[in-house]
Structure 1
């Protein structure tokens, strides 16, 4: 599993990102040929796997992400799921096509703490239309226990 891409963190130049199909873009980030986005550094997650219509991220819960009641803030799980679901859709997009989240629905099943250990968020495309795409996501611990799950609807548009 690769935690820190060799290219580090940064922003892929917009024109370069626009010229690449989504699967090629995410494979380049995963391999370290392109930088991972800054949010990955800030929240401490990394791309674990990338394939057509499916992306997984890994994350290790940390004390810095705790809420006042002693567990990782639910926004971290929501961000991980929103990200992998959107990225799974992005892997199916041709060069010059963008997307944005229109709606997400997250269900929390178990809390994360720093004792949870490494977790995986997996996003899979459900449907890819010409203007709307949907995906589902699951967040699990290392034993495969479900922590949270969700769905997304994304709007597709030319960029």
Structure 2
């Protein structure tokens, strides 16, 4: 049986221009409130942002077949993408206007297989160190019982725009 997924999105560069004028938290809140477009990745991979505060942005997703790799589990790239999003946005929420970041390194430990039977998963993130040029951030992907499915550590470069 053939399946399909259709996605639509708005120009992500509209929001990127606004990012320069807002603090990281203000920028993320503007997207959450629908004032600025969400990044297309959220639509492509079907992630949602469910919580947002300084230093922590929670992403959730429910595994679907379109997340699968050839052996019937969620592809590691999908798990890496949600953890990278969580670490990056958690850091971004602490940055002042005129600053941004890019991921320098992302290390992911895959601890349990994720399938459609797993149910909804969310990220828990923490900024470990925020320096002048780099930051170290970690995130976990957990289920409703706090079982950890994956853990990531990210090193980010802080940029001045």
Q: Same fold (TM over 0.5)?
A: yes
Kept in 2: contact 1:55–1:124 (CA 8 A)? no
Instruction: Name 1:71's counterpart in structure 2.
Output: 73
SS at match of 2:87: helix
* Separation in 2, partners of 1:35, 1:13: 6
Instruction: Name 2:6's counterpart in structure 1.
Output: none
Q: CA deviation at 1:121?
A: 1.3
TM-score (norm 1): 0.91
Kept in 1: contact 2:91–2:137 (CA 8 A)? yes
Alignment of 1:95 with 2:93, yes or no, is: no
* Separation in 1, partners of 2:86, 2:57: 6
- Structure 2: give runs of 5+ residues left out of the alignment: 1-8
Instruction: Name 1:34's counterpart in structure 2.
Output: 36
Instruction: Name 1:108's counterpart in structure 2.
Output: 110
Instruction: Name 1:13's counterpart in structure 2.
Output: 15
TM-score (norm 2): 0.89
Kept in 1: contact 2:15–2:36 (CA 8 A)? no
Instruction: Name 1:23's counterpart in structure 2.
Output: 25
Q: CA deviation at 1:9?
A: 4.8
Per-residue deviation, residues 55-89 of structure 1 (Å, max 9, x unmatched): 11010100111111111111111111011001100
Kept in 1: contact 2:133–2:158 (CA 8 A)? yes
The runs of at least 4 aligned residues of structure 1 exceeding 6 Å deviation read none
* Separation in 2, partners of 1:142, 1:96: 37
Equivalent residue for 1:60, pick from 49, 59, 62: 62
SS at match of 1:95: coil
SS at match of 1:19: coil
